[in-house]
Structure 1
Amino acid sequence: MRLCSGGIGNRIEFNTILKGSESLKVLVACEESQRVCIEFRKLGNEAYSCDIEPCSGGHPEWHIQNDVLPLLNGNCEFQTADGSVHCIDGKWDMIIAFPPCTYMTNAGAVRMRVKGEIVQERYQKAMEAKVFFMQIMNANCEKIAIENPTPMKLIELPPYTQAVQPYQFGHPYSKRTCLWLKGLPKLEPTEILEHHEPYVNGGCKDSHGNYRKFQGRKERDPKTRAKTFPGIARAMAEQWGN
């Protein structure tokens, strides 16, 4: 048990069941689903999800609904969605992040240019997203993982460490995503499925707003598409959090 000062001068007890000195302090940035956070908690780690959106994972006591930037370097005090105040002394042991990808992903390349000319408004938003991405990557933390789809070359993000697919972790879908890793090993597949289908309708639309492939299939909404597959979340916790 620890005591932290609340924002209005009172003192609030922080009590959690952890696995002793081996417990990791984990910040899961830009995650409202809490899928990764919950998997790390199952293993006894002190994990918190953080997003400007309310959590949908059912654990407000582990969710920080706020800007993640002030928390990245640790030595911070914050309030979770249930009203409790928590303290992190020193650096986070690990940061796992899922920053917004809308303006950086290669799937949106068709919208970045019109008649060969760069759309400056979209380019500016992409550069703002890149700044946010790099702030996470450059955080004062020894172990960092950032997940994003394949980025446009125009954005000039650093090279990613590996690419993974849901069908490598027990889900019958393909949805290529990249991992930028610092101080962490590559994620190892846990259950490779031979039969799978695309999770999204071709990944992007043409200049007329039509899906390039798989037309006629119902499209999943963006919030659903952004959620981490449970098998990948479990692999992250079991391979990095033990």
Structure 2
Amino acid sequence: MRILIGCETSGIARRAFAALGHDVWSCDLEPAEDRSNRHMICDIRDGILTEGWDMLAVMHPPCTRLCRSGRRWMSGPGKWTPPKQLPRGKSWDDMKTDFAEGVDVFTTCWNAPIARRAIENPEMNDLARDAMPPDLPKPQMVQPFWFGEPAYKNTGWYLDGLPDLTPTDMLEEPERDSAEWREWNKVHRMPPGPERGRLRSRSFPGMMQAAAAQWAGHATQEVAG
């Protein structure tokens, strides 16, 4: 299978699919952390989506203005009214520009001429849903601990031509407010800093190994059948 991993610099998803023998490339505006020669530094919207891929997995498209938690920065009561507060150093026009960028990246990938697509994104706020294609399904929400990763991070997958992920190594959840529970929540408890966004968006290897096995396996069977 020819597989494109979009919006990823860590190489975690790329390596998971490549380990199963697939022809896998990643792309992002930034270089790959592992300096792989199978990583392209480019905007995913600049023509690469038409290069004959069998599957597209978009890992971390810009979603800060699309997610439910970011709604309060976008609008006040109703829709598209001035918000009560803005992030430091940002204007409302900045918010709208960021929002439009997130929508454009997501919709360009969703409408790509590729038979099988998986786009990672949180549950969207009402403003984002209004701007999405009418055929966009609800996301499948999964957790890292379904795949042997001792962590909480509610992860949404918008899927087309691919099956929902099935848990592979379900861990027992720790007692709420215990030290282990707090450790599982470390993604959400990261302090502010220049690396926070990048670290919070990193894929979990266990989840991506399951995705590689299940999605590529499904696609291979489809092609063979």
Are residues 1:68 and 2:44 paired?
A: yes
Are residues 1:151 and 2:94 paired?
A: no
Secondary structure, counterpart of 1:96 in structure 2: strand
Are residues 1:109 and 2:71 paired?
A: yes
| TM-score normalised by structure 1 residue count | 0.72
Bigger helix fraction: 2
Give ranges in structure 2 of 5+ residues lacking alignment. 84-91, 174-180, 218-225
Alignment correspondent of 1:50: 27
Shift of 1:112: 2.0
| TM-score normalised by structure 2 residue count | 0.77
Alignment correspondent of 2:53: 92
In 1, the alpha carbon distance for the partners of 2:151 and 2:24 equals 28
Q: CA, structure 1 residues 122+230, in 2 after alignment: closer, same or farther (shift >3 Å)?
A: same
Choose which of 106, 120, 141 in structure 2 pairs with 1:163.
Answer: 141
Choose which of 125, 148, 163 in structure 2 pairs with 1:185.
Answer: 163
The structure number with the bigger radius of gyration is 1
Choose which of 207, 210, 220 in structure 2 pairs with 1:232.
Answer: 207
In 2, the alpha carbon distance for the partners of 1:72 and 1:100 equals 17
Whether the aligned pair in 2 keeps the contact of 1:93 and 1:142 (CA below 8 Å) is yes
Alignment correspondent of 2:102: 129
Shift of 1:39: 0.8
Secondary structure, counterpart of 2:208 in structure 1: helix
What are the within-5 Å matches in structure 2 for residues 203-242 of structure 1?
A: 218=191, 221-242=196-217
Letter in 1 for 2:148: G
In 2, the alpha carbon distance for the partners of 1:113 and 1:138 equals 27
Considering Cα pairs closer than 8 Å and 6+ residues apart, tell me whether 1 or 2 has the greater RCO. Answer: 2
Whether the aligned pair in 1 keeps the contact of 2:62 and 2:101 (CA below 8 Å) is no
In 1, the alpha carbon distance for the partners of 2:9 and 2:143 equals 21
Bigger drift between 227-236 and 97-106 goes to: 97-106
Shift of 1:120: 4.3
Write out per-residue CA displacement over residues 140-167 of structure 1, whole angstroms, 9 at most, x where no aligned residue.
0100000011221221143333111111
Secondary structure, counterpart of 2:148 in structure 1: coil
Whether the aligned pair in 2 keeps the contact of 1:164 and 1:178 (CA below 8 Å) is yes
Whether the aligned pair in 2 keeps the contact of 1:168 and 1:192 (CA below 8 Å) is yes
Alignment correspondent of 2:185: 198
Write out per-residue CA displacement over residues 143-201 of structure 1, whole angstroms, 9 at most, x where no aligned residue.
00000112212211433331111111111211111111110011111111222532433
Alignment correspondent of 1:32: 9
Shift of 1:114: 5.5
| Number of residue-to-residue matches in the alignment | 188
